[in-house]
Structure 1
Amino acid sequence: MPTLYFSPNSRSDTVVTLVRMLSADIALREVSIARQDGSGVRDPANPHPEGKVPYLIDGDDAVRERGAIILYLTDAYPDAGLGPVVGEPGRGAYLSWLSYYQGVMEPLLILKWANVDHPAINAGLRDFDTTIERLAEPLRRGPWLLGERFSAADMLCSSPFLWFTAMMPDEPVVRDWVARCKERMSRVAA
């Protein structure tokens, strides 16, 4: 049986919620992790090479990074409709949002939180305000990143604003979207 290693109140919460939304037959294994505030320790039972979460083991496959795990799971459970499958409209946008989150959005949020600014960062990743505008563009046309369709990309891209509320932007369309995502995911988490 596939196993998802997670730790409560961490970035793995989104993936745990996704597993529940997919009604996936996946064992959830809670492990401890080292926290930013210095609490917690690396759990020897966690097979992730860096002791992080989430981490998915499925037979001989090991998947890390939230975007990759989300894609792996939504492809494995297509009937839930939380990610367009190959050949389905919206697949390109879906893949782009998952990759944008991992490669641009999360690094920029961490750099902003750490108060790090440099011209090389702005040239390569842009800045926080640009990221918020990228999110706002599709949300002005539809309630979700993929238009009328809620997807796991909404879950991933809204997640930092749910657990790190100090980063919530002033942009109303983004704030409303985060609230819709929270409401939708809270129904499953409960």
Structure 2
Amino acid sequence: MLTLYHAPHSRSTSILVLIEEMGIAEHIDVIEVTVARQDGSGRADPRNPHPEGKVPYLTDGADHLRERGAIITYLTDRFPETGMGRPEGDPQRGAFLSWLFYYQGVMEPVLVLNWAKLDHAAVRTTFRDLETVVDRLADALDGRPYLLGDRYSAVDLLLSSPFQWLPDAAPKQPAVADWIRRCADRPAMQVVAERESAGLTV
């Protein structure tokens, strides 16, 4: 059975939303663990097999996965009938993977560096800047509701996720702001938010 190691109100919450969207909760055992938090609270949990004590972490027998992009790819490939991914052979497979890697390799570093107010030419040339990231999203959303077209997918969930946590940092460009609202209004997002507020995992 698949096992997800999760800490409430963390990056792994987006994987719970994905599981809810896909309707695959019966296939995944969710184990709640503690993690070290930015404010100094919390600690690494010895029950968590992640080598750095972070979440999310997914195990499937002897196979272990870390990083949300990898976990999203694994789950959407494992359960292609849910429609949240783009399986091999799908004409949008390349776009799907590109957005997942763009988030991990460009968007999240830019958001964290911007939040920390760190700026350097090497950062801008390697990762781009926040304005460029927002422009990229706006271009992709021009004339369509989601990053891959008319259908919501796991890339929308992942790339909109930081703005669910930090709504004050959400871009003001209309196409991007509307997309963030559409993603936030998904029933799965509401269900998981209510569960976590009530102290429930599943």
TM superposition score normalised by structure 1: 0.97
Identify the match of residue 182 of structure 1 among 181, 184, 195: 184
Q: Partner of 2:87 in structure 1?
A: 85
1:18-37 equivalent positions in 2, closer than 5 A = 18-24=18-24, 25-37=27-39
Q: Give the paired residue count.
A: 190
Whole-angstrom distance in 2 between the partners of 1:188 and 1:8: 14
Letter in 1 for 2:145: P
Whole-angstrom distance in 1 between the partners of 2:5 and 2:142: 36
Q: Percent identity?
A: 54
Identify the match of residue 143 of structure 2 among 141, 144, 147: 141
Letter in 2 for 1:138: A
Letter in 1 for 2:148: L
Q: CA deviation at 1:20?
A: 1.8
Counterparts in 2 of 1:92 and 1:48: CA distance versus 1, 3 Å: same
Structure 2 residue runs of 5 or longer lacking an equivalent are: 195-202
Q: Is residue 3–residue 26 contact of structure 1 (8 Å, CA) maintained in 2? A: yes
Whole-angstrom distance in 1 between the partners of 2:169 and 2:11: 15
Q: Partner of 2:48 in structure 1?
A: 46
Structure 1 residue runs of 5 or longer lacking an equivalent are: none
Whole-angstrom distance in 2 between the partners of 1:167 and 1:60: 39
Identify the match of residue 156 of structure 1 among 148, 151, 158: 158
Identify the match of residue 117 of structure 2 among 115, 118, 143: 115
Q: Partner of 2:62 in structure 1?
A: 60
Q: CA deviation at 1:9?
A: 0.4
Q: SS of the residue aligned with 2:55?
A: coil
Q: Over the residues paired in the alignment, what is the CA RMSD in angstroms?
A: 1.0
Letter in 2 for 1:30: E
Q: SS of the residue aligned with 1:4?
A: strand
Whole-angstrom distance in 2 between the partners of 1:186 and 1:156: 12
Q: SS of the residue aligned with 1:37?
A: coil
Letter in 1 for 2:142: R
1:128-165: per-residue Cα shift (whole Å, max 9, x none)? Answer: 00000111112112100001111000000000000122
